[in-house]
Chains A and B, each alone.
Chain A
Amino acid sequence: MKHLKAIIASIALFVMFAGTTVQAKVEIQWWHAFGGRLGELLDEQVNKFNASQNKYTVVHTRKGNYSETLNAGIAAFRAGQHPNILMVFEVGTASLMAAKGAYVPMYQLMKDAGQSFNPKGFVSAVSGYYTTTDGKMLSMPYNSSTPVLWVNKDLMKKAGLDPEMDLSTWKRVGNALDAAKAKGIDMPFCTCWHSWVHLENFSAYHNIPFATKANGFAGLDTELSFNSPVHIKHIQTLGKWAQEGKFKYMGRRNEAGKNFRAGECMLMTESSAGYAGIKKEAKFEFGIRHLPYYGGTEAPQNTIIGGSSLWALSGKSKEENKATAAFLAFLSKTDIQAKWHQDTGYLGVTTAAAKKTKSSGFYKANPGTDLAGIQMMRNKVTQNSKGLRLGSFDQIRGIIDEEMEGVYNGSKTAQVALDNAVRRGNVLLRRFERANK
């Protein structure tokens, strides 16, 4: 009985105090796409922020994968039930940008809230993706990665190759695959995100346009142009490798990562953010290399990012926007960014975070983890290597996926497939232009 009274009293006290603090706090919602290890790390960031001050509370909710999160956000916006912050992957950027009135631009949000915020602190190859052509930052870069070449050194040895051999060009990669095939290695090459790696990044890396109008940055009347001779040469090479059994296609997203981690695949092109999983699961010695290129071209220029940024959706109270601004400013702090970069393999999106990671000796202890950053920033960004800003791009990627599958299974030549993809994609770009005029 005595115990019960004590418990009731303490609950009452707790509720009283909790009640007063909760009432005074402004609560904001964040919808994102991260589960698993990334979800835990994200949760850690939110908890840190909530504990760091007593004015605001951030509540985060996972809404499925990237596409599902974006769709949930859009549907909620139509119903007026949207969150304060929405995670949007890079492919959805143009759709958000075109929806003026659906979001509060980042520079505006920070200015209204009186937050000191320096867009220049971000790596330009990253922030450029989310910045208008006249230099206004619209959303906050969150996680960004770029494709690199992953090497299974044990399989290289098995193929009679020097695991440290030069793999900087596709020609050399081709020679290595020949050797591997001759030694009976079942899966010499595999790739994740084939459109992102082999067309989108390929274009930037070789400094050739993926689409006209500076890849869509300069206007909605952009047209796809990834059917140039260099593109065709590369896709035809992939098709040939697929026919010869040197390249095994496992799926459109990151399905091939499983094969690599299981030690089946010798060389894989995949995001630098594959690091966390590979480091955890691989029971072999692995290496990280720069993405290969073709000699006699303008490569290597620089690669572009994949990943997401955070958008502050409109229609929220001033107080809530202030909370959003405070939270986003918190996320861009050097400590938070550096930790995120080292834990996940995503790029350090602020220059300070990259510097801090370097001075901490992390790159020395984990060789290859700095390659992604170098690869992105090795040259001054050009019109072709700033990124992509194309409407309906999720859908266009689907078209590219389909057409390239036709090359891999031998039913189409690269020329036919890429011409088709360009033509079909342009139809969607015109439709998007019309809907967003």
Chain B
Amino acid sequence: MEKRVFFKGWWLPALLVAPQLLISFVFFFYPSGQAIWNSLFLPDPFGLKTEFVGLDNFRFLLSDPYYLASFKTTVIFSTAVSVSSMALGLYLAALADRLIKGAGVYQTLLIWPYAIAPAIAGVLWLFMFNGNIGLASYYLKALGYEWNHTLKGDQAMFLVILASSWGRISYNFLFFLAGLQAIPKSIIEAAAIDGASFWKRFGTIVIPLLSPITFFLLVVNIVYAFFDTFGVIHTITSGGPEQSTTILVYKVFSDGFVSQDLGSSAAQSVILLVLVGILTVIQFKYIERKVHY
């Protein structure tokens, strides 16, 4: 049964939640309110004058085919990053969990990439695939494959997915490993004695018992792919070629801070806010039901 604690009076609970409320207000409600307010205006870059335009910023956006294409790009990108980094994280965790000798070394090395900031990771991968000096592009060329991600959209997409997933694998690995180690050995051993194969045990015992962690990682990874991959994209492709790697959050940045179109940028933030809200509701309403705690 759940434990419930009741407070007498109201000031102590109010005091206890006050810091959280304050933080939510300062870092969430106030900026969101500002974004909604600004999305109704068309200001000039210097802030010398501004004009109320109602919903024109939204109309402008939704009639732009590149903005609509950016939704599709975002879906492809986020799915690829989340799925590949989670699958690889789980795979590596399952391997590391079975290690007998030197587990600590392997685990440390596998966690390492997580310590690298997204922008730095972007530059690293960019160096490897750089058309002039990149090792990877050099060897690909030797194999007869022309690599030029500045021109080919699918290659650019592959590269930003690779760079974004790479550091994320470590994070997912860490959580999956903790999850695997928390599964009581006795259950698995009992199944083994009953003659269940490794895959049988993995499919019917490990995966269901990992579901809370998987669900948590799914939410966190999608949020990551939506918002935190900005640095990777900025350093590797700046959204190109032909906006093929411009995900929604990158467009917010490039329209707002490169093009100084603050009205459109604010409108995009509002759309993104609504979108993430809907996504979170879906995740908790439908996917969480399938999770066993």
| A and B form one complex | yes
Q: A residues within 8 Å of B by Cβ?
A: 67, 71, 74, 77-78, 95, 98-102, 248-252, 255, 258-259, 262, 392, 394-395, 398, 401-403, 405-406, 408-409, 411, 424, 427, 431, 434-436
A395 engages B44 (CB within 8 Å): no
The 9 closest A-B pairs by CB, nearest first: A395-B259, A405-B241, A78-B47, A99-B46, A402-B242, A102-B46, A251-B150, A258-B132, A435-B44
B240 engages A405 (CB within 8 Å): yes
A401 engages B240 (CB within 8 Å): yes
CA distance A424 to B65 in the complex (A): 10
B259 engages A392 (CB within 8 Å): yes
CA distance A405 to B260 in the complex (A): 24
Residues A409 and B45 in contact in the complex (CB < 8 Å), given A67-B258, A74-B260: no
Q: For residues 53 through 108 of chain B, which have their beta carbon under 8 Å from a beta carbon of chain A?
A: 60, 64, 66
26 A-B contacts (beta carbon < 8 Å): A74-B45, A77-B47, A98-B44, A99-B45, A99-B46, A100-B48, A101-B46, A249-B151, A250-B131, A250-B132, A252-B238, A252-B240, A392-B259, A394-B258, A398-B254, A402-B242, A402-B243, A403-B242, A405-B151, A406-B242, A408-B151, A409-B241, A427-B64, A431-B42, A435-B43, A435-B263
B149 to chain A, nearest CB (A): 10
B48 engages A392 (CB within 8 Å): no
Q: Chain B residues with Cβ under 8 A from A74's Cβ? A: 45-46, 260
Q: Chain B residues with Cβ under 8 A from A250's Cβ? A: 131-132, 150
Judged by a CB distance under 8 angstroms, whether B194 is at the interface is: no
CA distance A147 to B242 in the complex (A): 25
CA distance A102 to B45 in the complex (A): 10
Q: Chain B residues with Cβ under 8 A from A67's Cβ? A: 258
Tell me which of B48, B242, B263 contacts A405 (CB under 8 A).
B242
Nearest opposing residue in chain B for A259, CB measure: B132
Tell me which of B42, B46, B66, B255 contacts A77 (CB under 8 A).
B46
- Interface hub of B44, B51, B64 (most chain A Cβ within 10 A): B44
Q: Chain B residues with Cβ under 8 A from A71's Cβ? A: 257-258, 260
Nearest opposing residue in chain A for B57, CB measure: A431
A81 to chain B, nearest CB (A): 13
- Interface hub of B43, B255, B258 (most chain A Cβ within 10 A): B258
Q: Chain B residues with Cβ under 8 A from A409's Cβ? A: 151-153, 241
- Residue-wise, chain B 231-258 has the 8 Å CB interface mask toward A (1 for contact) of 0000000101111000000000011011
Nearest opposing residue in chain B for A408, CB measure: B151
A101 engages B242 (CB within 8 Å): no
B158 to chain A, nearest CB (A): 15
Residues A101 and B151 in contact in the complex (CB < 8 Å), given A395-B259, A405-B240: no
Given A71-B258, A252-B150, A403-B242, 4 other A-B residues pairs in contact with their CB atoms under 8 A: A78-B47, A398-B254, A409-B151, A435-B42
Q: Chain B residues with Cβ under 8 A from A99's Cβ? A: 44-46, 48
B150 engages A249 (CB within 8 Å): yes
B160 to chain A, nearest CB (A): 15
Q: Chain B residues with Cβ under 8 A from A431's Cβ? A: 42, 60, 261
CA distance A169 to B259 in the complex (A): 36
Tell me which of B51, B243, B260 contacts A95 (CB under 8 A).
B260
CA distance A26 to B261 in the complex (A): 35
CA distance A99 to B42 in the complex (A): 14
Nearest opposing residue in chain B for A75, CB measure: B257
Q: For residues 238 through 293 of chain B, which have their beta carbon under 8 Å from a beta carbon of chain A?
A: 238, 240-243, 254-255, 257-261, 263
Judged by a CB distance under 8 angstroms, whether B148 is at the interface is: yes
- Interface hub of A251, A401, A431 (most chain B Cβ within 10 A): A251
Residues A262 and B151 in contact in the complex (CB < 8 Å), given A99-B48, A402-B240: no
CA distance A28 to B261 in the complex (A): 29
Q: Chain A residues with Cβ under 8 A from B48's Cβ? A: 99-102
CA distance A98 to B44 in the complex (A): 9
CA distance A408 to B242 in the complex (A): 11
Q: Chain A residues with Cβ under 8 A from B241's Cβ? A: 402, 405, 409
Q: Chain A residues with Cβ under 8 A from B46's Cβ? A: 74, 77-78, 99, 101-102
Q: Chain A residues with Cβ under 8 A from B261's Cβ? A: 392, 395, 431
CA distance A98 to B49 in the complex (A): 11
Q: Chain B residues with Cβ under 8 A from A252's Cβ? A: 150, 238, 240
A49 to chain B, nearest CB (A): 28
B132 engages A255 (CB within 8 Å): yes
Nearest opposing residue in chain B for A392, CB measure: B259
